Amino acid sequence: MAGAALGQTTPDLTAQKAEARALEKRLPVPTLAPKVSFDLSPARQERFQTFLPKTYRKLSQREPLQVLVLGDASALKIHEGKPVETFPGVFAEALAAQFYYTGGVKVGPARGAAEAPTIGLRVLARPGGSVLDAASILQSTARQAPVDVVMICYGQGDAGMQPPAFARAVNAALAGAKQLGAEVILCSPWLPVAAQSESVLGLTRPLADALKEAAQELGVLYADLGDLSRLLTIPAPETQDEAQVFERVESAYREFFRLEEDGGFTPKVGLHQALGRLIYKDLLDAPPSLPWQTTGAKVRPEGGDGLTLTYSLKNSGTKAMEITALPLIASGWKPVEAKAKVKVEPGAAPVMTVRYVAENGVPPLQEAVLRLPLLICSGTYTHVETLRASVEPVGIVWGLETQFNQETGFLASCQVVNPGKTLIKGDWQAEFAGQKLTGTLDLPSEGTQPLNLRFDLPKESPAVNRVPLKLTLNVAGQTLTATRQVTLTRNLGLDQAIPLTATPGTKSPAPVTLTAKANAKALTLTFDLPGDGALQDAPDGSGPSWQVEMNLDARSYGKRLEQGSTATVRATGMAVDGAGKVHPVAEWAFGTGYAANFAPKEFQAGLSTGSEGRQITLTVPRSYLYLHEWALDNGNSQMGLGVRLTLQGTEGYVTYHLPLTAKAVNDVEALVVLELTAKPTARATVDVE
């Protein structure tokens, strides 16, 4: 009655609902874009998609992602940690957290939409693994499961490799990853430590620098795991001398490692966490710059086995800096004297000087620069920087590729490089096996001149012959000499005994010979041992008394002339007659392109005693060499062969080689030629070292 008295009416709810719906239709439709990258800024998304576009798309859609890790197993060693706690796992965990993969990271295949999405981590790192293996793994074992991203983490075991050879192997690995449709992250080796860390800290830095250079040229993501400026923050010290500066840095870095009972050092979880975060940070942001720059690096030979490095160290900051630049051992050169500590005003660039001596003979150059690392410290900054120093007055650059099937002569690849801005004239002379070649040098500014070092092969030489090649240059008022050892190995034939070479500096009781035999079913290598004392029981009574290591390139003839790698087939045994043990064999053991499971039990190895003495044999089934044409009695049906036989004798272990080479044993260029005929041709393998 009160409502009626006031003239009010009951609301029509149906009409109000209709008006509300009409109003909603006139409002703009909201658009909610799915948030796939969470807090990634546009700049970070762009950088991510620049390096890993396919990976970014998969992560955005939360599809299963497969990460494959290749490298030397030592790079992934971890004290009291799991595989997912190594730096590749930490990197993958960062991706999982960023893109909300609720299943996290799993070792093995990734899971898809039916379950919580995961990132799969697959590790194919091998003990003693080399970058030379990477392309072969990508063409064999890696194909057993899908691969989206390949993390290439080599260098720990390749410290003795020349940077150009390392870069070529990396390029081969990148080509293999491309065939799989996978994207690549290149990771340099982390810095090693030792009881005397000054002897090892810089050993892998030339390779890391070559890796960085290759990544920049090819547009591939590169992460420097040896960048101390990203791993250490050391309070600025009071005035210290060079030794104290090094000790302060080394002791801080050593905290990342555990000292094992055998004297080795194993990375702790903390180092792997820092390295994994570093890789992820480099995927999103360019590495930070440092407050100094090094420029104008040059080296000049000094005496027979020394050189002097000069470079400019510029303060690119706004305040004066106390800088300590400590040269490190690398590339076969050991620093003996340095101007290491200097105060640098803003914009100033004093010239620094370092003197080096060769550790084991002057190493050859295979590129026009010499890569020399420095440990540079200033305030709280610590960084190992690698200089690319040009060689003055000229650089002698050797091409050390092995030459197979040389008939009457060979051409030693060598060129002279002028790094300067002025014309250089001079002359050269080369001597080899009694032959002498001469010529003139006419090098324009920043020019290169190849030398025609074509020599005849020595006649009536032994099956294996090492001959020095001496090159002398007279330029800019200086006489420069370079001596290289050339190993000539005649092509081997079947049923012919070839002597092996003992490791230099070891005492061997008598020569050991190798004889190869082949038929329609198998290839057999027979090692004839010397007399008494050549083979004894191992000192501990349980270890092997003998070991055969064989590398065999059994690709087809055309493929065998290409770059590639093999994996060692290893057999061991005791000093008593009987069968030996053939150890597991890699899928690509017989050359890049092989991809099979080779059962060790199908090989045969053993020691026997006969009327002519003791023999060790190793037999490979013909069926396992399925890519080879296997045309017996044909000199063009060839294989690459390299062997090492280690015997426990009265003087300890002695290793015999064929060939004796400085090249990595799994490199096809470390092999000689075996012709499947009892009448081999007069051709030879030429290895300039």
Which strands sit side by side in the sheet containing 333-338, from one edge to the other?
333-338, 351-358, 306-315, 292-302, 381-391, 369-378, 321-327, 341-344
Q: Which CATH architecture has domain 292-391?
A: Sandwich (2.60)
SS3 sequence of 356-391: EEECCCCCCECCCEEEEEEEEEECCEEEEEEEEEEE
Copy the structure tokens of residue 441.
């040098």
Phi, psi angles (nearest 5°) of residue 210: -65, -35
Per-residue model confidence (pLDDT) at position 81: 80
Per-residue model confidence (pLDDT) at position 4: 44
CA distance 602 to 600: 5
Q: What topology is assigned to 42-284 in CATH?
A: Rossmann fold (3.40.50)
Q: Which helix (H) or strand (E) holds 136?
A: helix 134-138
CATH entry 3.90.1300.10 includes domain 410-489: no
In the block, tokens 């407050």 appear at: 291
User: Which residues, in sequence order, are CB contacts of 677 under 8 Å at separation 6+?
Assistant: 493, 494, 632, 633, 634, 635, 637
pTM score, whole prediction = 0.88
pLDDT in tens, 382-413: 999 999 999 999 999 999 889 999 999 999 99
* Residue among 673, 663, 618 at smallest CA distance from 640: 673
Q: How far is CA 347 from CA 161, 320, 376, in A?
A: 37, 9, 17
CA distance 474 to 439: 11
Per-residue model confidence (pLDDT) at position 2: 42
CA distance 124 to 144: 12
Per-residue model confidence (pLDDT) at position 277: 97
CA distance 672 to 670: 7
Residue 344 β-bridge partners: 321
Helix, strand, or coil here: 206? helix
Q: Which stretches within 234-381 are classed as H helix?
A: 242-254, 269-284
Q: End-to-end alpha-carbon separation of the chain, Å?
A: 115
Q: How far is CA 668 from CA 337, 479, 589, in A?
A: 39, 36, 11
Residues in the chain with pLDDT values less than 50: 1-8, 32, 36-37
Per-residue model confidence (pLDDT) at position 114: 60
Residue 565 β-bridge partners: 667
Q: How far is CA 53 from CA 58, 220, 261, 285, in A?
A: 9, 12, 45, 15
Phi, psi angles (nearest 5°) of residue 98: -65, -40
Contact assessment for residue 586 and residue 575, using Cβ atoms and an 8 Å cutoff: no
CA distance 136 to 627: 14
Helix, strand, or coil here: 517? strand
Q: What class is the 491-688 domain?
A: mainly beta
| Ramachandran sector of residue 377 (left: φ over 0; alpha: ψ -120 to 50; beta: rest) | beta
CA distance 322 to 317: 12
Per-residue model confidence (pLDDT) at position 5: 45
Q: Give CA 583 to chain center in angstroms.
A: 24
* Eight-class DSSP state of 197: G
Name the amino acid, one letter, at 365.
L
* Residue among 667, 659, 661, 666 at smallest CA distance from 688: 661
CA distance 596 to 625: 10
Domain ranges of the chain: 42-284, 292-391, 410-489, 491-688
Q: Do the first three CATH levels of 42-284 and 292-391 match, i.e. the same topology?
A: no
